[in-house]
Amino acid sequence: MYGIILNQQQRSLIKICGLSTEETVDAAIAAGATHIGLVHFEKSPRHISLEDAAKLRRRVPAEVKVVQLLVNADPKLTSQAIATVRPDVIQFHGSETPEWVKIVRKQTGLEVWKAFGLRDQASLESSSRYVGAIDRILFDTPAKALPGGNGVAFDWSLLAGHDHPIPWGLAGGLDTENVTEALKTTNTPLVDVSSGVESAPGVKDVDKIAAFCQAVREFDASR
Smallest distance from the beta carbon of 178 to ligand LARABZUK, in angstroms? Answer: 11
Residue 183 dihedral angles phi and psi, to the nearest 5°: -65, -40
Q: Which residues contact residue 76 at a Cβ distance below 8 angstroms, ignoring those fewer than 6 apart? A: none
Looking at residues 118 to 137 of the shown chain, list those that interact with ligand LARABZUK (rule: CB under 6 A). none
Return the residue of 35, 40, 57, 93 that touches ligand LARABZUK, per CB under 6 A.
Answer: 93
Q: Does 18 bind ligand LARABZUK (CB under 6 A)?
A: yes
Q: Does 44 bind ligand LARABZUK (CB under 6 A)?
A: yes
The residues carrying an active-site annotation are 17, 140
∠ Cα 96 101 104 (to 5°): 135
Alpha helices in 42-114 (DSSP H): 50-57, 75-85, 98-108
Smallest distance from the beta carbon of 28 to ligand LARABZUK, in angstroms? Answer: 12
Q: Does 87 bind ligand LARABZUK (CB under 6 A)?
A: no
Looking at residues 23 to 42 of the shown chain, list those that interact with ligand LARABZUK (rule: CB under 6 A). 37, 39, 41
- Residue 24 DSSP code: H
Smallest distance from the beta carbon of 188 to ligand LARABZUK, in angstroms? Answer: 13
Q: Helix, strand, coil shares of the chain as percentages rounded to 5? A: 40, 20, 40
Residues 206, 171 contacting (CB under 8 angstroms): no
Smallest distance from the beta carbon of 221 to ligand LARABZUK, in angstroms? Answer: 23
CA distance 69 to 47: 10
Beta bridge partners, 14, equal 191
Q: Give the residues lining the site for ligand LARABZUK (CB under 6 A).
A: 17-18, 37, 39, 41, 44, 46, 69, 71, 93, 140, 146-151, 171-174, 192-196
